[in-house]
C-alpha cells in the first residue's frame, strides 16, 4: 500500500483547524481520498458534492498534474503529493 501526502489550503481551517498536511495511504487515488476522509470527515462536504464529484471550484493536483479525480482507480504512486486548492474565483 502506497503512502502519500495531501496538502490542504489554509482556507479550510474551519474544517480541520491548523492541519495543512495529511499522510494517507492506499493502492489507488480513490483509496487515498477515502483515507483522507476517514481522518478528517469534515472535509467531505467541502471537497465533494452530493454526487461525490469534486466541487467545481476546488482544484486537485497529483504530483503536479491537475485532475478532477474522476477515475479513482488510478494507481497511487509511493510518495505521491496530492494538493487541494480553491480555484481563483469568489470575489
Binding site for another protein (CB under 8 A): 11-12, 14-15, 41-42, 45-47, 49-52, 55, 57-58, 86-87, 89-91
Rounded to whole angstroms, how far apart are CA atoms 81 and 63? 5
| Closest separation in Å from C-beta 2 to another protein | 27
**Radius of gyration (Cα) for the chain, nearest Å?**
12
> Which one, 64 or 91, has the nearer CB to another protein?
91
> Which one, 66 or 77, has the nearer CB to another protein?
66
Rounded to 10 degrees, the C-alpha dihedral 62/29/38/87 comes to 40
| Closest separation in Å from C-beta 20 to another protein | 15
All three cell numbers of 18, joined, read 491548523
Amino acid at each position: 500500500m502506497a503512502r502519500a501526502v495531501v496538502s490542504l489550503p489554509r482556507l479550510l481551517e474551519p474544517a480541520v483547524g491548523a492541519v495543512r498536511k495529511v499522510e494517507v495511504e492506499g493502492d489507488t487515488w480513490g483509496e487515498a481520498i477515502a483515507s483522507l476522509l476517514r481522518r478528517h470527515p469534515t472535509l467531505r462536504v467541502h471537497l465533494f458534492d452530493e454526487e461525490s464529484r469534486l466541487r467545481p471550484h476546488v482544484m486537485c493536483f497529483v504530483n503536479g498534474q491537475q485532475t478532477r479525480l474522476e477515475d479513482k482507480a488510478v494507481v497511487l504512486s509511493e510518495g505521491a503529493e496530492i494538493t487541494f486548492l480553491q480555484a481563483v474565483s469568489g470575489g
